[in-house]
Amino acid sequence: MRIVFAETPSPWLVTVKAQVSLGMLYLATILEHNSYDVRYERPDSVDDFTGYGDADILCLGGTSLEYPTTLECARKFKASFPDVPIFFGGVHATALYADVAGDKAFDAICVGEGEDVILNMVRDVELGELEMLYTADKPIADLDTIPFPHRSLVEGVHGKSLFSLGEQYKGTESESIITSRGCPNRCAFCASKSMWGRHIRYRSVDNVIDEVRGIVESSDVRQIGVWDDTLTVNKKRCIEFCNKVAEFDIAWKCLGRAASLDKELCAALVRGGCKEIGLGFESGDQRVLDFLHKDVSVGAMLQGSNNAMDAGINVRGLFMVGTPGEQVDTSELTNDYIDELGINAVSLFLFTPLPGSPIWDDPAEFNCEILTKDFTKYNEYGYIMENGKKTRHVFEPVVHNKFLTLDQMKDNVERMRSYIENTNRMNKG
């Protein structure tokens, strides 16, 4: 059996092929450990899928924003190789498995974590007993039992520059790791719980350190992205990780929760080699934070961000615009808040309702209406491809926040985006 894993091409990204998909690489590794012939591909375009005809199984994954392109890839492949089964999994498949099955582009769908399911799917192909739906019975209790992703399956550069302000601390290439699964927070816009649940599961710190050691000893890469939903949620564990990873001469970045960043934790992050942390501020309007169930105050986030910067960590501020709960003055409040934070890198995301999130499941609870579920209208982040170039796109709301008219929503977006661009804070990576 030859099994090909192929990432969805993402030409709309500012940096194409910025990071390898860890989720698919984990599954490819499990199959390789079980003596299957596995190949991992990172195609440039949908047309590349006509070149995978030597596969006995094609495995695809992706987010909701990528789904229209993933669907196109599957149909392109199936038109040339109708007898080769296509597997699909990930957060979109998990949240909307019935809709995905209805698209009739895939032969089998994995719902939930795939590590305990992928072998059954492949063996059912061998037995001629493949089913449409495979569901993980329960979350994997011991994440240390999952083998480290076999990075040699991926040819070429696995990850590109990590840092928002253009720093190259240890070269230009990077690797990715994840040390936990899940998030205990209840943000209304997040779909994490549909995949992992609200309970957070951790790898042991020593297990993570062994993976970092393997990266350092087998390559020249010295920059790592730690892509947990929030690395800093467990202070004791985070400090232990920082103390142990300090033995390696690496630079890394992570995602965190601003309110968790006290001075002791920030000092540990610096000691461990953390150069940048991405913080989900979302808005400088407390009314919006409350509406989105962030369970935090603008003051607590400001203090945590200040602690990080005082310790010498660059802060990348993650903000959303066009969200439920916004009001006419939200943009000005947020722009003033960004000034008060004093951060230099701001990533501004146009709000989209993600399948599996509370807002998707019950928009009326959040005083909004989802105007379209056509995912081709979701994936633009303010930029689209025109004649091979990335061009700014005119914002068209996919959700109507009923505090505002659609024109007021558009105006809020434009005022906030223009302010961030004009103050040279916009980070488009």
pLDDT value at 82 more than 90: yes
Q: With CA atoms as reference, report the closest residue to 16 among 83, 56, 81, 66.
A: 66
Position 178 scores a pLDDT of: 97
How many CB atoms lie under 10 A from the CB of residue 90?
Answer: 25
Q: Give dist(CA 118, CA 27) in Å, integer.
A: 7
Q: Are 337 and 284 in contact (CB under 8 A)?
A: yes
pLDDT band at 168 (very low <50, low <70, confident <90, very high): confident
Position 263 scores a pLDDT of: 98
Position 379 scores a pLDDT of: 66
pLDDT band at 265 (very low <50, low <70, confident <90, very high): very high
Position 194 scores a pLDDT of: 81
Q: Give dist(CA 153, CA 235) in Å, integer.
A: 34
Stretch among 158-167, 201-210, 276-285, 351-360 having the lowest mean pLDDT? 158-167
Position 392 scores a pLDDT of: 62
Q: Are 186 and 136 in contact (CB under 8 A)?
A: no
* Digit-coded pLDDT (tens) for 295-308: 999 999 999 999 99
Provide DSSP, 76-127.
HHHHH-TTS-EEEESHHHHHSHHHHHHTT--SEEEES-STTTHHHHHHHHHH
Question: Could you give the number of structural domains in the chain?
Answer: 2
Task: List the CATH number of the domain containing 45.
Answer: 3.40.50.280
Q: What is the mean pLDDT of residues 159-176?
A: 89
Q: Is residue 184 part of a domain?
A: yes
Position 14 scores a pLDDT of: 74
Provide DSSP, 220-253.
S--EEEE--S-GGGSHHHHHHHHHHHTTS--EEE
Q: Is residue 387 part of a domain?
A: yes
Q: What is the mean pLDDT of residues 41-68?
A: 95
Does 265 lie in the same domain as 370?
yes
Does 313 lie in the same domain as 234?
yes
pLDDT band at 197 (very low <50, low <70, confident <90, very high): confident
Does 114 lie in the same domain as 19?
yes
Question: How far are the Cα atoms of 8, 74, 134, 236, 410 from residue 44, in angstroms, in the given order?
Answer: 9, 15, 29, 42, 33
Question: How far are the Cα atoms of 165, 167, 181 from residue 275, in angstroms, in the given order?
Answer: 11, 9, 23
pLDDT band at 17 (very low <50, low <70, confident <90, very high): confident
Position 47 scores a pLDDT of: 96
Q: Are 7 and 24 in contact (CB under 8 A)?
A: yes
* Digit-coded pLDDT (tens) for 342-382: 999 999 988 999 999 999 999 999 999 999 999 988 865 54
Percent of the chain at pLDDT > 70 equals 96
Q: Is residue 381 part of a domain?
A: yes
Q: Give dist(CA 132, CA 99) in Å, integer.
A: 13
Q: What is the mean pLDDT of residues 139-162?
A: 94
Does 259 lie in the same domain as 307?
yes
Top-confidence residue, 1 or 6: 6
Does 61 lie in the same domain as 165?
no
Does 130 lie in the same domain as 174?
no
Does 168 lie in the same domain as 103?
no
Q: What phi and psi, each to the nearest 5 degrees, are found at residue 397?
A: -60, 140
Q: Is residue 152 part of a domain?
A: no
Q: What is the mean pLDDT of residues 214-233?
A: 95
Residues whose CB falls within 8 Å of the CB of residue 407, separated by 6 or more in sequence, listed in order: none
Position 181 scores a pLDDT of: 94
Percent of the chain at pLDDT > 90 equals 82
How many CB atoms lie under 10 A from the CB of residue 266?
Answer: 24
Q: What is the mean pLDDT of residues 231-236?
A: 96
Q: Is residue 125 part of a domain?
A: yes
- Taking only Cα atoms into account, the Rg of the chain, rounded to an integer number of angstroms, comes to 21
Q: Are 174 and 162 in contact (CB under 8 A)?
A: yes
Mean pLDDT of the chain: 93
Position 165 scores a pLDDT of: 81
pLDDT value at 331 more than 80: yes
Structure tokens given for 80: 């040339």
Position 412 scores a pLDDT of: 93
Q: Is residue 148 part of a domain?
A: no
Q: Give dist(CA 36, CA 32) in Å, integer.
A: 5
Does 265 lie in the same domain as 170?
yes
Top-confidence residue, 124 or 18: 124
Domain boundaries, position 129: 2-135
pLDDT band at 278 (very low <50, low <70, confident <90, very high): very high
pLDDT band at 384 (very low <50, low <70, confident <90, very high): low
pLDDT value at 386 more than 70: no
pLDDT band at 429 (very low <50, low <70, confident <90, very high): low
Does 103 lie in the same domain as 192?
no
Q: Is residue 19 part of a domain?
A: yes
Structure tokens given for 167: 């720093």
Does 268 lie in the same domain as 349?
yes
Q: Give dist(CA 287, CA 88) in Å, integer.
A: 39
Task: List the CATH number of the domain containing 367.
Answer: 3.20.20.70
Position 391 scores a pLDDT of: 64
pLDDT band at 396 (very low <50, low <70, confident <90, very high): confident
Does 353 lie in the same domain as 244?
yes
Q: Is residue 153 part of a domain?
A: no
Stretch among 63-72, 161-170, 341-350 having the lowest mean pLDDT? 161-170
Does 168 lie in the same domain as 97?
no
